Amino acid sequence: MKKMMSLLLLISCTYVTLACPRQVYDNEPYKVYLDEKEIACYSSHRLDFRNPTAKYLGVPVSPSFYTLLSVGSHPAILRIQPPQGLIVDICKLVIRPLSLGVKSTWNGRELQITIDQPQNFVIDAQGDGMYPLHIFVNRAMPEINKKSDDVIYFGPGIHDVGQIVLKSNQTLYLAEGAVVRPLPPRSGGQVEIGGETFYLGEPMIKITDAHHVTIKGNGMITAERATDKRIKAQIITAVKTSGLRIEDILLTDANSWNIHIYDSKDAIVDNVKILGYYINTDAICFNGSKNSVARNCFAHINDDGYEVKATDESMCTEGIRFEQCIIWNDFGSGMGVTHEVMGKIKDISWKDITVIRYDPIVHSNWLLHRAPVFVHAVGGGTVSGLSFENITIEQAHSIQPMILIDNQKKLIETEDHFMIKKYNRIEHVKFKNVTGLEIESPDIVIYDEGEDCIDEISFENIWMNGEKLMPGDKRLRINNSKTKKIRIN
């Protein structure tokens, strides 16, 4: 191993020494100090088909790092010294999202950044996605009354627990420095992924038929124990809930969906950070739910990001908002309607969303499988009243189009059950102020396999690689001549 170099992190606020879970790689990490006291720099993976350094549980991966801080009311000076030799050309370093305008200085040994507010960003040291450092800066939070009968409290340190079941009016509180590692029970059945056999498991955090449940704090929940035991399970599943709040926590190392809110209403997901490298690590899914919002969230995942579904014919997913969120996709889609729509989806909005990187490598046969902005419905339901506004795709390094509206019944070989369903209807979809800065495939594709099933699609102020989408633009590709009422402004 190369000699580890020190990393100094100075900040005019309180500090906490975080407990480190198992280090996956024997790589030279970033080191972090706070007022000259060391805090944890956690190591994990990111899915990496281009430059994998290892294969973990059948998945090609490379190292990924993250750290958590809390700031008070005073500005912070961040000093970051990367692993030796990582920064060869400082001009290639990128701090994302670009819209934050994070300024840095480099003295040949340390990167210095001033922070004056809570924020989430990534240091892409080489500009190629390798060895990223995710920095999550939280607001300092007051302690909770941990003696309350309605509070499940985890303080600083590693906590190996079983499944956590939450009931009405309960709060699950993760103090700064808490690392919670649930191991849920098996639910029956197995699945094979990349040559590895997993047991299907119940959710790690389970909320059913409950109201006003809260999960919050500046700690983290990691799925690494479940993965080690080959139990494939969602981290947080909420079914038939109202008034659910999930705030500030970090979810890491998922091997299935991170947050699944099903048949619920009035949920708020705020400033949740999600890191997932494994297959099917969808970030936040509202499924058959109503009048809910996800805002200020960050996700770096290996599947779909901010999504809606309606997996039952009786369902209506309605009034869902995604606002001011950030995403990095190593696979999947950044945002949209993702696949299973047996019921109704209507009045859904994505606003002020930034895709900082979009890196999937796919076979040309999967060209229409996903996209940074993706609307694909299968299962015979209806989709209407979608709005994508103020969307920025900073970099898309993939053959897949920037925007894809797709109405076909089958994408992969295992989906024969969808072939008996009628085609879905997709209508009244609006794209406004969508900007792609560095897009490998600057295209918009509308693919309608059905008979006149896509209608009333509008594009306003759409830019790709510095060129505005105009009427008659060849970058807008429509496969079905019966598709009508496509407007470009």
Question: What pLDDT score does 412 carry?
Answer: 57
Question: What pLDDT score does 219 carry?
Answer: 96
For 9-68, the DSSP string reads: -EESS---PPPP------S----EEETTEEE--EEEEEE-SSS-SEEETTEEEEEEEEEE
Percent of the chain with pLDDT over 70: 90
Three-state SS at 318 = strand
Question: What pLDDT score does 5 carry?
Answer: 27
Region of poorest pLDDT, from 11-25, 162-176, 224-238, 378-392: 11-25
Average pLDDT, integer, range 62-75? 86
Q: What is the 3-state secondary structure (H, E, C) of 398-435?
A: CCCCCEEEEECCCCCCCCHHHHHCCCCEEEEEEEEEEE
Of the two residues 417 and 448, the one the predictor is more confident about is 448
Question: What pLDDT score does 35 carry?
Answer: 66
**Contact yes or no for 353/325 (Cβ under 8 A):** yes
Question: What pLDDT score does 418 carry?
Answer: 64
Of the two residues 82 and 450, the one the predictor is more confident about is 82
For the chain, residues classed under CATH 2.160.20.10 are 141-281
- Give yes or no for residue 354 having a pLDDT over 60: yes
**Contact yes or no for 362/333 (Cβ under 8 A):** no
Gap between the Cα atoms of 391 and 414, Å rounded:
33
Question: What pLDDT score does 483 carry?
Answer: 79
- Give yes or no for residue 415 having a pLDDT over 90: no
Question: What pLDDT score does 457 carry?
Answer: 95
**Contact yes or no for 470/444 (Cβ under 8 A):** no
Of the two residues 257 and 16, the one the predictor is more confident about is 257
Three-state SS at 366 = helix
**Cα dihedral sign for 276, 330, 308, 422?**
negative
- Give yes or no for residue 429 having a pLDDT over 60: yes
When pLDDT is cut at 50, 70 and 90, the band that residue 430 belongs to is very high
- Give yes or no for residue 456 having a pLDDT over 90: yes
Report CA-CA distances (Å) from 184 to 152, 178, 259. 17, 19, 15
- What is the topology classification, in CATH, of domain 10-138? Dex49a from penicillium minioluteum complex, domain 1 (2.60.350)
Question: What pLDDT score does 13 carry?
Answer: 28
Apex CA 212: angle with CA 206 and CA 215, to 5°? 55
For the chain, residues classed under CATH 2.60.350.10 are 10-138
Whose CA is closest to 118, among 95, 85, 84, 141? 141
Question: What pLDDT score does 243 carry?
Answer: 98
- Give yes or no for residue 143 having a pLDDT over 90: no
User: What CATH number does the domain located at 141-281 have?
Assistant: 2.160.20.10
- Give yes or no for residue 3 having a pLDDT over 70: no
Question: What pLDDT score does 146 carry?
Answer: 85
Question: What pLDDT score does 19 carry?
Answer: 36
**Contact yes or no for 214/245 (Cβ under 8 A):** yes
Average pLDDT, integer, range 364-383? 84
Question: What pLDDT score does 308 carry?
Answer: 98
Q: Would you state the structure tokens that stand for residue 397, as one six-digit string?
A: 């390094």
When pLDDT is cut at 50, 70 and 90, the band that residue 110 belongs to is confident
pLDDT tens-place string over residues 6-49: 222 222 223 333 333 433 333 567 877 776 667 788 989 999 98
**Cα dihedral sign for 297, 303, 307, 311?**
negative
Question: What pLDDT score does 6 carry?
Answer: 27
Whose CA is closest to 258, among 275, 282, 239? 282
pLDDT tens-place string over residues 117-141: 899 999 999 999 999 999 999 988 8
Residue found by looking up tokens 């899915």 in the block: 47
Average pLDDT, integer, range 289-295? 98
Three-state SS at 471 = coil
When pLDDT is cut at 50, 70 and 90, the band that residue 364 belongs to is low
To the nearest whole number, what is the mean pLDDT of the chain? 88
For 430-451, the DSSP string reads: EEEEEEEEEESS--EEEEE-SS
Report CA-CA distances (Å) from 352 to 41, 97, 303, 393, 435. 29, 12, 20, 11, 11
pLDDT tens-place string over residues 265-283: 999 999 999 999 988 999 9
